[in-house]
């Protein structure tokens, strides 16, 4: 049998075994501020998160004495105490006391992870080279957050098994999937990559041929979105929704952290800007409604990610967006700092012509509506 040399084969080099350098959001601050230590499985290991007078702290999850799980222990003063022998560990990683011992060994130190609280969320810094984070790669504050100008977070968490978190980052440039997965018409779509930031600008309308409960508005609504990844895993997405003559400002957080090289956790939430005459309860209700609509799309994403092939050589059209450029930008977080090249961080701008796609999609939606009515 002759071999067809024209057949396109899928290339798959496998998931990287190292984890990305950068800040990773582990969840809301309030999740960890309940007087107990918490276990978080991330980066192929286990962490313990606990509260101190100086704020939340993160340590390696297992006691350096005999391997007890610190998350099963208790918080005593400003330290987490191991349930096995009561060795106590401070937020800086040093052993602060061993009640039954005359002295603490000078080498009694565990790994303390660089940590930060921002926007009501808790972050840890990961780097295989153990570098310290700098201000040039920090997570920016959401304007007005600390001043109480936003509702509380409407927050959800998803676990994705059998996929690498690159699948999620690819969405930054994937214009077409917003129609098929997130039930929206993107009619403006542009990407800008520069430094450690990758941004997606999108204007869209909801699809009128879907269940209204899965949508963020009617077909006359307009969503203006500016979504920026700051580093490999944390996106801040300010959104302005025009619906029924009203304009609503919201912010979406779309973040993840790896559990293993083949699984990750998604943390995402929505907060709405407080408006004059709108109560905190009303603002939270709107945030919950947006979260419900967005979580439907995420659910669709999850089903695809869990059962798709990793593909390193995607076959693209000009309407598919700058996938290869985005992946080259993303590569900077998986190499040593000294191996980051200028081409990974230089400014790139790509705007997609959406006219043909929108025309085609309008025809498909009209056919769906006609079939529903008949």
**DSSP readout, 122-173?**
EEEEE-TT-PPP-GGGPPPPPTTTTTT-BPPPEEEEEEEESS-THHHHGGGT
Query: In whole angstroms, how large is the CA radius of gyration of the chain?
Result: 23
pLDDT digit string, tens, across residues 227-273: 999 999 999 999 998 877 778 889 999 999 999 999 999 999 999 88
CATH of 22-137, one of 3.40.50.1100, 2.102.10.10, 3.40.50.620, 2.120.10.30: 2.102.10.10
- Which residues are paired to 251 by β-bridges? 238, 271
Work out the percent of the chain whose per-residue pLDDT is above 90: 76
Which two tokens mark 240?
Answer: 């302005």
Sign of CA dihedral 39, 40, 46, 50: negative
pLDDT digit string, tens, across residues 130-148: 999 999 999 999 999 999 9
pLDDT digit string, tens, across residues 106-134: 999 999 999 999 999 999 999 999 999 99
Instruction: Check for a shared fold between 22-137 and 154-368.
Output: no
- CATH superfamily ID and name for 154-368: Naphthalene 1,2-dioxygenase Alpha Subunit; Chain A, domain 1 (3.90.380.10)
* pTM to 2 decimal places: 0.93
φ and ψ of 34, to 5 deg? -125, 15
Looking at residue 34, what is its pLDDT? 95
- Residue-range domain boundaries for the chain: 22-137, 154-368
User: What CA dihedral angle connects 173, 174, 176 and 181, to 10 degrees?
Assistant: -140
Coil, helix or strand at residue 222? strand
């Amino acid at each position: 049998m002759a071999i067809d040399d024209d057949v396109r084969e899928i290339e798959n080099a496998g998931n990287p075994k190292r984890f990305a350098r950068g800040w990773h959001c582990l969840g809301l601050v309030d999740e960890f501020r309940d007087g107990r230590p918490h276990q978080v499985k991330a980066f192929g290991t286990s962490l313990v998160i606990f509260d101190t007078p100086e704020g939340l702290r993160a340590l390696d999850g297992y006691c350096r004495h005999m391997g007890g799980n610190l998350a099963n222990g208790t918080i005593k003063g400003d330290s987490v105490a191991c349930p096995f022998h009561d060795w106590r560990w401070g937020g800086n990683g040093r052993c602060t006391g061993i009640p039954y011992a005359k002295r603490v060994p000078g080498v009694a130190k565990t790994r303390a992870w660089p940590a930060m609280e921002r926007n009501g969320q808790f972050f840890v810094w990961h780097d295989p080279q153990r570098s310290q984070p700098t201000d040039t790669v920090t997570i920016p504050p959401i304007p007005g957050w600390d001043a109480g100008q936003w509702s509380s977070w409407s927050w959800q968490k998803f676990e994705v098994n059998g996929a690498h978190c690159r699948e999620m980052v690819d969405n930054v440039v994937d214009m077409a999937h917003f129609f098929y997965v997130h039930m929206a018409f993107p009619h403006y779509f542009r990407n800008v990559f520069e430094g450690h930031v990758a941004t997606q600008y999108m204007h869209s309308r909801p699809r009128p041929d879907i269940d209204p409960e899965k949508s963020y508005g009617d077909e006359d609504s307009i969503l203006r979105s500016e979504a920026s990844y700051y580093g490999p895993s944390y996106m801040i997405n300010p959104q302005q929704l025009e619906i029924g003559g009203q304009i609503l400002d919201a912010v979406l957080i779309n973040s993840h952290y790896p559990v293993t090289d083949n699984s990750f956790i998604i943390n995402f939430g929505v907060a709405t800007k407080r408006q004059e005459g709108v109560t905190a309860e009303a603002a939270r209700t709107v945030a919950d409604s947006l979260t419900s609509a967005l979580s439907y799309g995420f659910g669709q994403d999850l089903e695809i990610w869990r059962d798709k092939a990793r593909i390193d050589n995607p076959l693209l059209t000009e309407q598919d967006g700058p996938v290869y450029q985005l992946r080259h930008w993303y590569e900077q977080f998986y190499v040593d700092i000294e191996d980051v090249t200028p081409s990974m961080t230089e400014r790139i701008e790509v705007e997609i012509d959406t006219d043909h796609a929108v025309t085609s999609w309008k025809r498909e939606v009209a056919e769906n509506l006609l079939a529903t009515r008949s």
